[in-house]
């Protein structure tokens, strides 16, 4: 039996079912002997819905294996937001998870998302008016942006209140001109520092060796946040997130401990997008029930469209290939259609070419192209599984015909995962 770690990756714009997939992989039903769920991108804006044993939780910073008691490691690539983490731990407690904070390990090098970032994020997004980027208003972009050229607060600073205090004050001064005229505010810095000190005593702040320790004890599941099509360098600029969503960082972490990885792509039987940006197969006539995805004040409405193998193939290409596919929402009536090509002003195309990494001009050209593309739709067979396997050149190893953990079934090829 191959003892491989698994990277779970959303091949669309998010909301494909990563959380439910990770929950299943961590469950005793799957029997995969998982030692930890590792988060390698994003932050508190993740919203991974898991329904299992009569419980529902939208996982944000806790890993989606929490219901099975699997610890979560927030890697150095995460943006950690302690206030939201506290609320999430309270919600988990009410769902019967005993002492959720004890399941967390946090890399001290991870960046801290603070109420100052959040106020700045919202002030900036408000100022964009109708040209907004589709931000969640959770300060993620500001956290990444500020850290580019400032000495930004990190999780380990919570252990050193004086250092943290100075960094927060510098940040407050930096953002003063943006926040002061806005309607957004944050609590006094002294209050924040006190709270971060409590945070540092309540969770385990670890160094880079923690990953190897977990890997020694069992299998690691890398839970990606958001979708590859939102990747900061590979997504459709500027409608992207300030986060490396493709598995580059996850693979680098595994390479550091010399451990193999199996990459599992996740997609629905149709496409969705929450927020602004190009979406060629969007069909506004589609109104699927979306109990856990609603219109957000900063994100805007939840959008749906037909299955799009062109976008999925692009996501697979920029991810350096995947090993298997998890196909969710098979219970859904779906749209019964999928795009086989796009009509564009310059002719019909059926693929998107990845440009050089970090070439935002190329990404902007893709965005412009997609804005003018209209899809050529084909009718799907009743069970789209093998059609999609053929389109994407990847085996479907896990299917889901419902939102619950028990709705997940390993396909015959699941042996490849194990």
Q: For other proteins, what does the binding mask look like between residues 116 and 135, x meaning CB under 8 A?
A: --xx----------------
Question: In whole angstroms, how close is the CB of 93 to other proteins at the nearest point?
Answer: 9
Taking the C-alpha atoms of residue 269 and residue 329, their distance in angstroms, rounded to an integer, is 6
Catalytic residue (one of 10, 15, 23, 157): 15
Which residues in the 198-227 window bind other proteins by CB under 8 A? 198-199, 201-203
The residues pairing with 42 across neighbouring beta strands, listed in sequence order, are: none
**Number of residues near other proteins (by CB under 8 A):** 31
3-state helix, strand, coil in the chain (%, to 5): 35, 25, 40
Question: In whole angstroms, how close is the CB of 77 to other proteins at the nearest point?
Answer: 23
In the chain, count of helices (H) and strands (E)?
11, 19
186 binds other proteins (CB under 8 A): yes
Which residues in the 53-112 window bind other proteins by CB under 8 A? 82-87, 89-90, 99, 101-102
Would you call 99 a catalytic residue per the annotation?
no
Question: In whole angstroms, how close is the CB of 100 to other proteins at the nearest point?
Answer: 8
Contact, 220 vs 36, CB < 8 A?
Answer: yes
Would you call 15 a catalytic residue per the annotation?
yes
Residue whose C-alpha is closest to residue 73's, from 197, 204, 199: 204
In order of 156, 304, 402, the CA distances from 284 in angstroms are 46, 7, 23
Token readout for 93 is: 């407690």
377 phi, psi to nearest 5 deg: -100, 145
Distance of CA 332 to the CA centre of its chain: 23
Binding piece for other proteins, criterion CB under 8 A, among 27-35, 114-122, 126-134, 250-258: 114-122
- How many residues are there in the chain? 418
Question: In whole angstroms, how close is the CB of 92 to other proteins at the nearest point?
Answer: 11
**Binder among 194, 331, 350, 368 for other proteins (CB under 8 A):** 194
Contact, 234 vs 366, CB < 8 A?
Answer: no
162 binds other proteins (CB under 8 A): no
**Binder among 147, 163, 170, 195 for other proteins (CB under 8 A):** 195
Question: In whole angstroms, how close is the CB of 71 to other proteins at the nearest point?
Answer: 15
| Residue closer to other proteins (CB basis): 33 or 191 | 191
Residues 6+ apart with CB under 8 A from 309: 338, 339, 340, 388, 391, 392
- Please list the active-site residues: 15, 48
**Residue numbers of the site for other proteins (CB under 8 A)?**
82-87, 89-90, 99, 101-102, 115, 118-119, 137, 183-188, 190-192, 194-195, 198-199, 201-203
């Amino acid at each position: 039996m191959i003892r491989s770690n698994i990277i779970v990756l959303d091949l669309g714009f998010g909301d494909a079912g990563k959380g439910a997939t990770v929950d299943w992989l961590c469950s005793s039903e799957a029997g995969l002997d998982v030692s930890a769920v590792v988060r390698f991108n994003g932050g508190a804006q993740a919203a991974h819905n898991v329904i299992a044993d009569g419980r529902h939780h939208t996982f944000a910073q806790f890993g989606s294996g929490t219901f099975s008691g699997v610890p979560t490691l927030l890697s150095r690539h995460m943006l950690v937001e302690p206030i939201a983490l506290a609320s999430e731990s309270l919600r988990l407690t009410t769902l019967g998870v005993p002492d959720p904070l004890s399941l967390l390990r946090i890399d001290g090098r991870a960046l801290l998302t603070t109420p100052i970032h959040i106020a700045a994020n919202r002030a900036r997004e408000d100022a964009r008016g109708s040209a907004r980027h589709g931000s969640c208003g959770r300060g993620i972009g500001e956290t990444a942006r500020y850290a580019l050229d400032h000495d930004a607060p990190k999780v380990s600073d919570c252990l050193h209140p004086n250092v943290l205090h100075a960094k927060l004050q510098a940040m407050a001064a930096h953002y003063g001109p943006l926040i002061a005229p806005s309607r957004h505010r944050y609590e006094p810095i002294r209050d924040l520092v006190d709270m971060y000190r409590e945070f540092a005593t309540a969770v385990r702040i670890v160094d880079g060796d923690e990953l190897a320790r977990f890997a020694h004890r069992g299998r690691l599941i890398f839970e990606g946040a958001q979708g590859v099509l939102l990747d900061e360098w590979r997504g459709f600029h500027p409608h992207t997130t300030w986060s490396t969503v493709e598995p580059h960082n996850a693979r680098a972490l595994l390479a550091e401990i010399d451990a193999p990885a199996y990459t599992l792509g996740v997609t629905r039987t149709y496409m969705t997008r929450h927020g602004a940006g190009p979406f060629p197969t969007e069909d506004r006539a589609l109104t699927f029930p979306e109990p856990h995805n609603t219109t957000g004040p900063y994100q805007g409405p939840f959008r749906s469209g037909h299955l799009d193998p062109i976008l999925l193939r692009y996501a697979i290409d920029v991810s350096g290939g995947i090993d298997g596919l998890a196909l969710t929402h098979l219970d859904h009536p779906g749209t019964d259609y999928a795009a086989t090509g796009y009509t564009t002003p310059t002719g019909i195309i059926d693929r998107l070419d990845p440009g050089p990494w970090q070439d935002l001009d190329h990404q902007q050209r893709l965005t412009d192209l997609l804005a003018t593309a209209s899809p050529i739709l084909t009718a799907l067979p009743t069970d789209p599984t093998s059609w999609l396997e053929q389109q994407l050149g990847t085996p479907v190893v896990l299917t889901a015909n419902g939102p619950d953990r028990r709705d997940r079934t390993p396909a015959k090829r699941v042996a490849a995962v194990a």
